């Protein structure tokens, strides 16, 4: 899989206001990168989720800042979650809800649609959780893309000139950042200083 093409398509679809299609291509970028990073792991679920967990510094800062993604578990059901402990973590949610739904050509279940924070220019990073349902911010798309872009396995990939990521008011030209995970983690560090573990114990089965 050409990860650079998936990144380009995700951003193009986002600019066209099609968040579901953008999420599909972002998940494809993670799928392709995880296969390179963890070739010995069996099954796309384990590769995808393990790869995301190893990149929570970037994914969290870009897509869910202020939340302790290592410890937070969400009160929803997904097929075959891989996180340790009761309930799925964010990696399980992204794989079980978004990657599998879009990858199988199914309709997104009601109550799991992305919230258009970035698309609307609100400046917020929202999360809406009800029993059995979770809506993530559309910023998670760019969190996934950043994880793929910064992976050392993707050094040498390309998008068209002018494609960029934004973080804390700074713009990062994508073609200057392929494979630079360690450098980008430093840029993310200020957004990961304070992290809250969300507790849904009363909602968990």
68: in domain: yes
203: in domain: no
66: in domain: yes
pLDDT of the residue at 29: 97
pLDDT of the residue at 85: 81
163: in domain: yes
pLDDT of the residue at 205: 59
Structure tokens at 31: 């799928």
φ/ψ of residue 17, rounded to 5: 70, 20
Q: Are 63 and 47 in contact (CB under 8 A)?
A: no
pLDDT of the residue at 104: 66
Residue ranges in the chain whose pLDDT is less than 50:
none
Nearest one of 155, 145, 127 to 9, comparing CA atoms: 145
pLDDT of the residue at 12: 97
205: in domain: no
111: in domain: yes
CB atoms closer than 10 angstroms to residue 191: 16
pLDDT of the residue at 83: 93
204: in domain: no
- State the pTM of this model: 0.94
pLDDT of the residue at 105: 65
The string of pLDDT tens digits covering residues 17-74 is 999 999 999 999 999 999 999 999 889 999 999 999 999 999 999 999 999 999 999 9
Gap between the Cα atoms of 71 and 42, Å rounded: 25
When divided into structural domains, the chain yields a total of 1
Structure tokens at 1: 């899989």
Q: Are 10 and 145 in contact (CB under 8 A)?
A: yes
Q: Are 24 and 95 in contact (CB under 8 A)?
A: no
Provide the residue range defining the domain that includes 121.
3-198
Please tell me what DSSP assigns to residue 42: -
pLDDT of the residue at 204: 60
Gap between the Cα atoms of 14 and 12, Å rounded: 5
């Amino acid at each position: 899989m050409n990860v650079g093409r998936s990144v380009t398509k995700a951003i193009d679809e986002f600019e066209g206001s099609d968040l579901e299609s953008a999420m599909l291509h972002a998940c494809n970028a993670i799928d392709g990168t995880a296969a390179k990073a963890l070739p010995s792991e069996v099954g796309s679920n384990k590769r995808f989720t393990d790869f995301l967990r190893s990149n929570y510094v970037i994914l969290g800062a870009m897509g869910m800042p202020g939340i302790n993604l290592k410890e937070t578990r969400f009160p929803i059901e997904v097929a075959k979650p891989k996180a340790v402990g009761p309930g799925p973590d964010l990696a399980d949610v992204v794989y079980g809800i978004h990657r599998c739904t879009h990858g199988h050509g199914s309709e997104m279940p009601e109550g799991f649609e992305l919230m258009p924070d970035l698309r609307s220019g609100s400046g917020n990073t929202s999360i809406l959780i009800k029993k059995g349902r979770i809506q993530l911010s559309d910023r998670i798309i760019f969190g996934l893309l950043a994880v793929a872009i910064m992976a050392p396995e993707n050094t040498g990939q390309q998008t068209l000139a002018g494609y960029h990521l934004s973080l804390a008011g700074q713009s990062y030209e994508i073609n200057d950042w392929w494979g630079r995970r360690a450098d980008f983690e430093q840029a993310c560090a200020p957004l990961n200083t304070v992290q809250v573990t969300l507790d849904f114990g009363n909602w968990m089965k």
